[in-house]
Structure 1
Amino acid sequence: MWQKLDELDRDGLLRLQRLPGAPIWQPMARGISLSGDGAGYLLFALLLAELGGARGVAFLFAGLAAFAVELPIYWLLKNSLRRGRPCHVLGEVMASVEPHDRFSLPSGHTAAAFIFASLLAWYWPPLAGVAFAWASLVGLSRVLLGVHYPGDVLVGAGLGLWSAQLGLSWVG
């Protein structure tokens, strides 16, 4: 079963990597991926806590709780499963960005983006569509850039959604 899933994952990655128009979508994918880097989440949450009243403060604390759950699980999975990144394992895949570490499963960028999108959707429901579209694009960008398989992104999204739910339940 795992072998079949791995084959599907590899095939999906290679199909996405072979999309035409790379000179157009690669710079966009880099920018979207960069928007999912870590420091921005804390800065944005602090800004919302300052400007958003009680809802902004709750957003900040739910985010802190969610990341307190997500980060150790992410680290444990990455370092236990030790799945090589496609750009390191598949000769035909070149990374368009420098990966933060050696392993690919789960996608930390995607997990963080889905935590953030979930919390935005909970506290500001009109932003839900935009937030989840952005989080999905962060995940897709990581595959297009050659640093994750589609399955890494799916697991990252699930981890982010679950962690956000836990963070929300702890904050109330």
Structure 2
Amino acid sequence: MSQRIGEPPHPAGDSLAQSLAGRTGAGPGLVTPLEELAALDRAVYEAVAATSTPVLDGHFRRLSRSADHSVLWLGIAAATAVVGGKNGRRAATESLLAIGAASATVNIGIKPLARRRRPDRVEPARFEARGVPMPESDSFPSGHAASAFAFAHTMSGYLPELSVPLRLLAGGVAYSRVHTGVHYPGDVVIGAILGAGIAAMVGAARNRQFRTSTEEG
């Protein structure tokens, strides 16, 4: 765990605010809000970790692990391609492109710049039932959340009848990363926003490409 509520801010929790401030040349007027947001982020993380949820722990652990390496989304995409006809194949293809773009942006482009450390588990026993190994990559933003919302956004455009369940599933995966203790809430919120935004850009590029090929044909 990162810290106890009421204790002085943990240095790891402030690393993102310090990194952003240093890289942007932000003055004290911006540093303070960033530090306060980081403190709020840690407090919400601590509140989730401190809440006993024995019935939910196993479900969120399995949901989180199912989305490792986007296995959950690959499975849904494969099923959609098989049973969804031409529209399903287009949805599956574009959703995988969106996941790839989101994953590359987060893991290659942003994480090395933000360099936010993962939450500290000073009381590992509190996470025994939640049981997800702590990843070695940096914490901000969440790659799981980015991939989840990139997939849900893309699939929803082709299959609007699945929009609500897919977005709920994506939200569940994103929350599971906080519940299992491997991300701060801010990591998954920003990851989700990035994933949906990147998926929208991928979709726009694909639409332009489709229109161009149609006009040329």
User: Structure 2 length as normaliser, TM-score?
Assistant: 0.71
Give 1:92 deviation, angstroms.
4.3
Aligned twin of 1:35: 66
Residue 93 (structure 2) pairs with residue 47 (structure 1): no
Deviation sequence 1:39-77 (CA, Å, 0-9, x none):
332343233223212211211231233134212211121
Aligned twin of 2:135: 100
1:64·1:167 contact (CA, 8 Å) conserved in 2?
A: no
Given residue 80 of structure 2, which amino acid in structure 1 is its aligned partner? L
Given residue 85 of structure 2, which amino acid in structure 1 is its aligned partner? G
Given residue 62 of structure 1, which amino acid in structure 2 is its aligned partner? E
Aligned residue runs from structure 1 range 104-123, under 5 A? 104-123=139-158
Aligned twin of 1:16: 48
Pick one of 111, 119, 122 that aligns with 1:91. 122
Which structure 1 segments of 5+ residues have no match? none
CA distance in 1, matches of 2:137, 2:91: 32
| Identical aligned residues as a percent | 33
Residue 37 (structure 2) pairs with residue 5 (structure 1): yes
Residue 61 (structure 2) pairs with residue 26 (structure 1): no
1:36·1:109 contact (CA, 8 Å) conserved in 2?
A: yes
CA distance in 2, matches of 1:133, 1:72: 24
Count, aligned residues: 169
Partner SS, residue 104 of structure 1: coil
CA distance in 1, matches of 2:166, 2:83: 19
Partner SS, residue 60 of structure 1: helix
Q: Which has the higher contact order (CA 8 A, sep 6+)?
A: 1
Pick one of 91, 96, 113 that aligns with 1:80. 113
Give 1:120 deviation, angstroms.
2.2
RMSD: 1.8
Partner SS, residue 160 of structure 1: helix
Given residue 29 of structure 1, which amino acid in structure 2 is its aligned partner? F
User: Structure 1 length as normaliser, TM-score?
Assistant: 0.89
CA distance in 2, matches of 1:171, 1:64: 12
Given residue 11 of structure 1, which amino acid in structure 2 is its aligned partner? A
Aligned twin of 2:214: none
Which structure 2 segments of 5+ residues have no match? 1-32, 208-217
